[in-house]
Structure 1
């Protein structure tokens, strides 16, 4: 399978780490196993091409749970060189931290609209966040799925694709990139023409 990906137009990309048994986090929202590369695990390494594509995104969306769970890995480092939009039911003022502006909004739809406006002609990435990902997949708003599959069976946690409305959602594989402890697999989402008006 061709491992060269050429972006021809801006896309909404679901970008998530996942265990072989389908979990996006371990028990108690633990990310240390799936994101071992960020916690100093020498047996894991994100492929630089995939990481570079993420860093080239124009905006990122993820949920409040991902924000909380990521604190241990991110520390004080500058992680996101682009604006981040966080849907949450808790009213909060924007926060500037770790070199990034985090804007809190009251719905996933609002997060997507703001992220697309902020990104311009660059991609919008949905990072992890199973609840957010499932809502945007159900709305047929996701163009591509980029999975970092870790060779581990977690057995429990939060599944990435646990509650999908409008299933089946069909995906077309476009590339596979192996890396240390991780297999990166990218899919194009086969859109439903009856629901494209939601985006």
Structure 2
């Protein structure tokens, strides 16, 4: 069994925001920049599990049906999830390194670090971000949730792929060095 690949596939504004302050993305992202234009379908098919923060989970629950049926999903949170979380969704709290070790022990080959910024920061801190794949959207939000919040540690990357997309967007893939 090979090592787990920790892969963040995320959309980001030109000024480094992953959502508006209220967590919304629909007015600047979803309509004009479909995820499939950035290889999301193929990426998602290769994901064994999803790791996300509580804010991301709560935002997704507002959309109605759970968008990731059949994919084991771990939500990093100190609070209990709603009374009836979707099948396959589990809450975890405490040491992020212990949660990562648990997912590796389960044999997951590729884990999607979905977000938000605090989870990404935590995974960088424990050296568990191997691939950073971004849809860079040509909009400046000015205010919002940053991809890399204050306190994010250093991470050296090399550009593996850069593709220009419709309406001025870029699809970037970076690999961790070392």
User: TM-score, normalising length from structure 2?
Assistant: 0.84
1:109 maps to 97
Asked if structure 2 preserves the Cα contact closer than 8 Å seen for 1:26 and 1:156, the reply is yes
Describe the shift of the 1:187–1:48 C-alpha distance in structure 2 as closer, same or farther (beyond 3 A): closer
Cα distance change, pair 30–133 in 1 and its aligned pair in 2 (3 A):
same
Q: Which residue of 2 aligns with 1:152?
A: 139
The 2-side partners of 1:155 and 1:86 are apart by 28
174-183 or 64-73, larger mean C-alpha shift: 174-183
Q: Which stretch of the first structure deviates more once superposed, 126-135 or 102-111? A: 102-111
Separation of aligned partners in 1, 2:136 and 2:145: 15
Task: Give the corresponding residue for 1:51.
Answer: 41
CA contact (8 A) 2:134 2:173 kept: yes
Say which of 18, 24, 30 aligns to 2:18. 24
| Number of equivalenced pairs | 174
Q: Which moved more, 1:103-112 or 1:173-182?
A: 173-182
Over residues 97-133 of structure 1, what are the superposed CA-to-partner deviations in whole Å (9 max), with x where a residue is unaligned?
2xx4111011333332233233x25211100210010
Provide, for residues 8-36 of structure 1, a one-character-per-residue CA deviation record: whole Å limited to 9, x for no partner: 96411122211000001112222224541
Given candidates 75, 84, 94, the residue that maps to 2:73 is 84
Unaligned runs of 5+ in 1: 1-7, 192-199
Question: For 1:139-178, what aligned pairs fall within 5 Å after superposition?
Answer: 139-167=126-154, 169-178=155-164
* Counterpart in the other structure of 2:56: 66
* Secondary structure of 2:88's aligned partner: strand
How large is the RMSD of aligned CA atoms in angstroms?
Answer: 2.5
Q: Tell me, in whole angstroms, the C-alpha distance in 2 between the residues paired with 1:144 and 1:170.
A: 11
Please list every run of at least 4 consecutive aligned residues from structure 1 whose deviation after the TM superposition is greater than 3 angstroms: 91-96, 177-182
Q: Are 1:13 and 2:3 an aligned pair?
A: no
The aligned residue for residue 3 of structure 1 is none
> For residues 22 and 16 of structure 2, what CA distance do their matches in structure 1 show?
16
Describe the shift of the 1:143–1:151 C-alpha distance in structure 2 as closer, same or farther (beyond 3 A): same
Distance change >3 Å, CA 34–CA 63, structure 1 → 2: farther
Q: Which structure 2 segments of 5+ residues have no match?
A: none
Partner of 1:60, secondary structure, is: strand
How big is the shift at 1:64? Answer: 0.6
